[in-house]
Structure 1
Amino acid sequence: MKNKYILLALAVSLVGCKKDFLDEQPKASLSSTDLNNLAAVEALVVAAYAPLGGQIDDANNAFNSPGTNWTFGDVVSDDAYKGGGGVGDQNGMHLMEIFLTNANIIDVERKWRACYEGIARTNRAIQAVNGFAGMSTAQRTVRLGELHLLRGHYYFDLKKIYNRIPWVDETPRAITEYDIPNNLTDAQLWKNIETDFLFAQASLPAKQADLGRVTKGAATAYLAKLYLYTKDYPKTIAAVDAVLAAGIYSLNANYHDNFDPTKEHSSESLFAIERAIRDGTPNNYRGSLDERLLNPGGPYYPLYGFDMPSQDLVNAFKTTATGLPQTDKSDVAATDFVDPRLDHAVGRPGIQFLDLAPYAATWARDPGTYGVFAFKKRMVSSRSTFYLNQFPWVSALNYDIIRLADVLLFKAEALVETGNLEGARAIVNQIRRRANTDQVLNANGTPAGNYKVAEYTAPWTDPATAREAVRTERRLEMALEGHRFFDLVRWGIADQVMNDHFAREKSRRTYLSTARFVKGTHEYFPIPQSQLNLSKGQLTQNPGY
């Protein structure tokens, strides 16, 4: 099923990495003779894509280094609880959720390793492409563009998760020269990542013949994201406009099309983790291994039940009688109006779950600890040929690292910050207009919920109100896609939002009673202790850990 371009099984067997600051042993080695043919060099390029999904060592726990960042972006935010079988199940994730993260947690360690594995592969492939004479100039340009975009992505993930990171490029080094300090400034790190993205933008074509390879649109969209993170709003707007000017990208007609494996590589997808099952790869490890713990249980799935949507997230989808977001934080009642995106993202009792049955509270694994809602957004029906109904219980659904709705909301934020409130309103209304057309239906074709979502008709005149409306829309549109915590951090409101969240939640989720976000520490995760030990004193731990 779904034999797509990315033939990672072959490529992974060809490469490894060896760096003192990585606790990773080389899986194989290649001599210069081995790389004296085009197929081997191309395999190295393909291999650089492999760590996007968090798989680095042929183990089944890529969920500890997820490409989707569901632990680092959802569980530690106000959008989700860890879930699973109580606080002792994946206890490291529990400690992350209550902000008692330490440098020995496996998730902290594996995510670092996964990103630097990706960087090691991109650097090795850049060397090979540059050193191979049997490749045309045009082909070399495209392949180098791919590799620079991939490297920029891995570093972007590291920057937003760990903040202070060592930078390693493709310059050949002796093994002793990989003890590199993490002493670059924010400006230096962002500039290095921008340089990779600019190189990719200049080198990549608008389209590629092979599905799964990155394109100019992906590079330009990632530049827009970088400029948003660095608060260069005019450049954010210009980059988004360049994406749109290509004439290739548009919103899917229906919101759920973004999470339908039969509708991948659509006009809304700019950069995705390619997944496949039943493709000959051992153990189907090219499936959604980084999300296999998200299976909700019940009669159709194994009972894992992680990344459980929070009550706060569910309440955020409540709408007023006029169809605009209801922001009073009150719990959704059966008679309340809700945004239909709620029931595409969240399994809630009584609402149809894909083509299977109405979701029931009894599906939940540990309702006493985590409530009764379930992750639904990227679940594939257990009846689908795109779902593997046996261990490791994964699907072939791609994950969009960047999709167009995300990019449009980048521009909406930037427009607010540059004073164009009406331009921001037009974008938010475009997103809401699409949401209004895609309702979840019962088996008999009737709406499964009391849906009502409307556009903002009154002009936006107050920047603070407009800013909050854009941020709310981003939460609703991108819910449970691994972005929420990073958004709170870059907005500078993580401490306020999370501590308010804990104050509300501790009465219903008692395990959160001691949770506390410390400003100046918890915006970033600790440098893994294993890497500190290996670095010969070159790496410095983040503040507060």
Structure 2
Amino acid sequence: MKNLHRTSIIYTLLAVLTLGSCSKNFLAIDPETTANSDNFYKNQEEVEQAVNGAYNILQDLGRLHLWLYGEMRSDNTTFQYNNQDRGLETREFIDQFLVDASAEPIRQFWQLSYQGITRTNDVLARLDEVEMTDEKRAQYRGEVLFLRAFHYFNLVRQYGGVPLRLAPVESPDSALSKGRAPVEEVYNQIVSDLSSAADNLSNATISSAEKGRVTEGAARTLLAKVYLTLKKYDEAIDQLRKVSTMGYSLVTNYADNFSPEKKNGAESIFEIQYLGSQPSLSSNFMYQFAPYTSGSVVTQDPNTNLGGSAGWNIPTQDMIDAYEEGDKRKASSLAEGFTNSSGTFVAVPYVKKYNFGFVEPGQTDVNFPVLRYADVLLMLAECLNEKGFAANGEAFNLVNNIRERAGLKPLEARDINGQDRFREAVFQERRVELAFENHRWYDLLRTGKAVEIMNAHGAREKDGSLTIPTNAYQVTNNRLLLPIPQREINLDNLEQNPQ
């Protein structure tokens, strides 16, 4: 039986590449097919198909896992309790810090991430064997190094130390990992991958039809975020300064960052691409984030029934109250309820940021932002303050550029009169500026605020509730990490996180 399990993991980890032909848009790929990697990679076109297959994993992660663990696990959002459909109860357990190692979403997140890593490793291992220009080879190398680093950055922040797989699985013996690498080693690999990605992408030329591919700016921005997480402020500042010279800028209208008609705009550094006209490539955030009791009022789609798949990522009252009076971002980001077909207002809030209609019933064309220039400005302001508070200095200007767009008065040193006060001001600004973009949980972790804030959040959620278990939201340092999927514990002999 043990050998059967080991054989099973080989197929799971090696799972074939998702390949698609490139047309007028790099997202417009053909239906998934299987191919033997030994007889693939014969020319540049096939390499590009393999690289596109590595991007494809992001769509699956973006539809659920990135917001489930990056947003709904935080104090920004929760869920609408559905007493009629209990089929997705494990998502509730993730929100409530009650999830166990056998939960399907825990296993899926791990497997999808490693499937993405496997695809990048396959490309990297064979890239030098294929005839193409040096510029194109460097571009593809940079893209997949970014993607591998992106997956490992998510994994290490959610699970702690994880197995480092940096080469294709070529045999049954190589299917088993060397165990969980120390957190420091994982971060060293992430930094190495992103540094190399930035260098390889420095001369890449991306056509308008290929907008949405990884760029040098994306690699340096993610690298800066890694350095900020590690509290290496000088290194983060260096990367952020470079990004600030690359032509990015804040768009005038905040909501334009999320409109499908203005994808990959001046403020966008990297976003997960979706194509609403094809079911396998479309997004559906509008449906998942709508209250399940809202019928077609929120989605305006009478042909798509809402059930257990809706009512997720619901803004908390604390999130609603976090916006200052007059903040233009609030109306673009959330609604505090909806008026049902009977004309009655129902006070169940929902994320509105991704509501731009549908292309086909159940299918939307909305991308999901991963990195925006506003994030660059806020990270730079935070790093500068950590290096030393400067009253009404550059860090103030950076934050105030964002506040001005939001219609808010600027921060001034007479009110924010020290490093601690400015640190809190940036923390607050990040919450409302980047709301529902999957940054909040990671900001709580890296600032050391997660236990305190999440226990307070849990107390508010449980107050008067009859549906939340009494042992929910009992957050400790151990529970900040997700459990390693039980299947991986059994098959790969990994050590479990203490819970």
TM range (shorter): 0.7 to 0.9
Match of 1:313 among 291, 295, 319: 319
CA 1:115–1:374 in 2, change beyond 3 Å: closer, same or farther? same
What is the match of residue 501 of structure 1? 457
**CA separation of 1:290/1:176 partners in 2, compared to 1, >3 Å: closer, same or farther?**
farther
Q: CA deviation at 1:510?
A: 4.0
Could you report, residue by residue, the CA deviation over 1:334-387 in whole angstroms, capped at 9, with x for unpaired residues?
A: xxx3422111111124xxxxxxxxx426799x97xxx61012111222xxxxx2
| Residues 389-408 of structure 1 aligned to structure 2 (within 5 Å) | 389-390=360-361, 393-408=362-377
Aligned match of 1:294 = 289
Give the percent of matched residue pairs that are identical in Structure 1 and Structure 2: 30
- The aligned runs of 1:246-265 (5 Å cut-off) are 246=246, 248-265=247-264
Q: Which runs of 4+ in 1 moved over 4 A?
A: 289-292, 361-364
Query: How many angstroms apart in 1 are the aligned matches of 2:489 and 2:284?
Result: 28
2:54–2:144 Cα contact (<8 Å) kept: yes
Measured against aligned partners, the alpha-carbon deviations of 1:77-117 in whole angstroms (never above 9, x if no partner) come to 11111226248351001111111110111111111111111
Structure 1 length normalisation: TM-score?
Answer: 0.79
2:403 to 432, 455, 460: 432
Q: Distance in 2 between matches of 1:215 and 1:518?
A: 38
Aligned length: 458
Alignment of 1:283-362 (within 5 A): 284-289=279-284, 292-296=287-291, 297=294, 298-299=296-297, 300-301=300-301, 302-303=305-306, 304-317=310-323, 319=324, 337-349=325-337, 359-360=338-339
C-alpha contact 1:361 1:373 (8 A) present in aligned 2? no
Residue aligning to 2:116: 118
Q: Partner residue of 1:543?
A: 498
2:260–2:366 Cα contact (<8 Å) kept: yes
Q: Deviations over 1:302-355 (max 9, x none)?
A: 4322211111100111x3xxxxxxxxxxxxxxxxx3422111111124xxxxxx
Report the CA distance shift for 1:9/1:164 in structure 2 as closer, same or farther (over 3 A).
farther
Aligned equivalents of 2:435 and 2:47: distance in 1? 39
Matched, 1:44 2:50: yes
Q: Deviations over 1:377-398 (max 9, x none)?
A: 11222xxxxx2342xx131111
For residue 85 of structure 1, what is the aligned residue in structure 2? 82
Structure 1: tracts of 5 or more residues without a match: 15-27, 56-61, 320-336, 350-358, 382-386, 437-452
Counterpart secondary structure, 1:511: coil
Look up the SS of the partner of 2:281 in the other structure: coil
The residue number in structure 2 matching 1:229 is 229
Deviations along 1:39-88, one digit per CA (max 9) or x if unpaired, are: 22221111110001126xxxxxx74x43xx21112221111112262483
Q: Is the 8 A contact 1:74 1:307 kept in 2?
A: yes
Q: Residue 374 of structure 1 corresponds to which residue in structure 2? A: 350
Q: 2:441 aligns with which of 473, 482, 485?
A: 485
**CA 1:511–1:76 in 2, change beyond 3 Å: closer, same or farther?**
farther
Report the counterpart of residue 275 of structure 1 in structure 2: 274
Say whether the 8 Å CA contact 1:419–1:463 is kept in structure 2. Answer: yes
Task: Summarize deviations over 1:112-141 as a string: whole Å, max 9, x none.
Answer: 111111101111111221221x21222111
Partner Cα separation in structure 1 for residue 233 and residue 495 of structure 2: 32
CA distance in 2, matches of 1:40, 1:104: 37
Shift of 1:483: 1.4
How far apart in 1 are the matches of 2:175 and 2:284?
Answer: 30
Give 1:171 deviation, angstroms. 5.6
**Deviation of 1:524 (Å):** 1.3
Secondary structure at the counterpart of residue 308 of structure 1: strand
Aligned residue identity for 1:251: L
Instruction: Measure, in 2, the Cα distance between the counterparts of 1:236 and 1:287.
Output: 34
Per the TM alignment, residue 186 of structure 1 is displaced from its structure 2 partner at its CA by 1.9
CA RMSD in angstroms comes to 2.5
* Uncovered stretches (5+) of structure 2, i.e. residues with no partner: 1-22
Counterpart of 1:5 (choices 12, 22, 26) is: 26
Question: Structure 2: how far apart are the matches of 1:111 and 1:488?
Answer: 20
Are 1:424 and 1:470, in contact at CA under 8 Å, matched by a contact in 2? no
How far apart in 1 are the matches of 2:129 and 2:86?
50
Letter in 2 for 1:458: A
Amino acid at match of 1:520: N
- Which protein has the bigger helix share? 2
Output the TM-score relative to the length of structure 2.
Answer: 0.86
Contact map agreement 1:433 1:454 (CA 8 A) in 2:
yes
Amino acid aligned to 1:494: A
Give the Å deviation of 1:509. 4.0
